[in-house]
């Protein structure tokens, strides 16, 4: 009768992945500290401003024209990136309603392209 060979444990390959995840989390924390304006998005003032923008734009994406029935999928986007400028961040006229797809796709690519100029 043939002998069964033992299966080599693969748990040794998980350790580097966990370390990479910890490194990535630490990098995210470091970036968050470098961008203190990110906490402005978690304020009641931002929630009111966001809602006012969505109502003004009739819950319609300014790029593709999709009407968002689920308001959690709509984004109050800054037309001109504020890059930490508080006055520009809170400027009602600098905000537009975008659907999640437009905000995460074309708009982000445009902003990243202009960031290097």
From the list 110, 78, 82, the residue with the least C-alpha distance to 93 is: 78
List, for the chain, all residue ranges whose pLDDT scores fall below the cut of 70: 1-2, 4, 8-20, 28, 31-33, 115-117
Please state the pTM of the whole predicted model: 0.67
pLDDT of residue 10: 62
From the list 69, 82, 9, the residue with the least C-alpha distance to 61 is: 69
> Alpha carbon 108 to chain centroid distance?
9
């Amino acid at each position: 009768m043939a002998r069964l060979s033992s299966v080599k444990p693969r748990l040794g390959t998980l350790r580097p992945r966990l370390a990479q995840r910890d490194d990535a989390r630490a990098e995210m924390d470091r970036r968050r500290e470098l961008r203190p304006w990110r906490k402005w998005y978690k304020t009641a003032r931002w929630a009111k401003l966001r809602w006012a923008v969505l109502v003004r734009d009739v819950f319609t994406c300014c790029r593709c024209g999709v009407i968002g029935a689920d308001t959690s999928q709509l984004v109050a986007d800054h037309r001109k990136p504020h890059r930490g400028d508080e006055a520009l961040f809170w400027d009602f006229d600098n905000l537009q309603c975008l659907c999640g797809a437009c905000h995460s796709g074309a708009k982000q690519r445009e902003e990243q392209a202009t960031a290097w100029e």
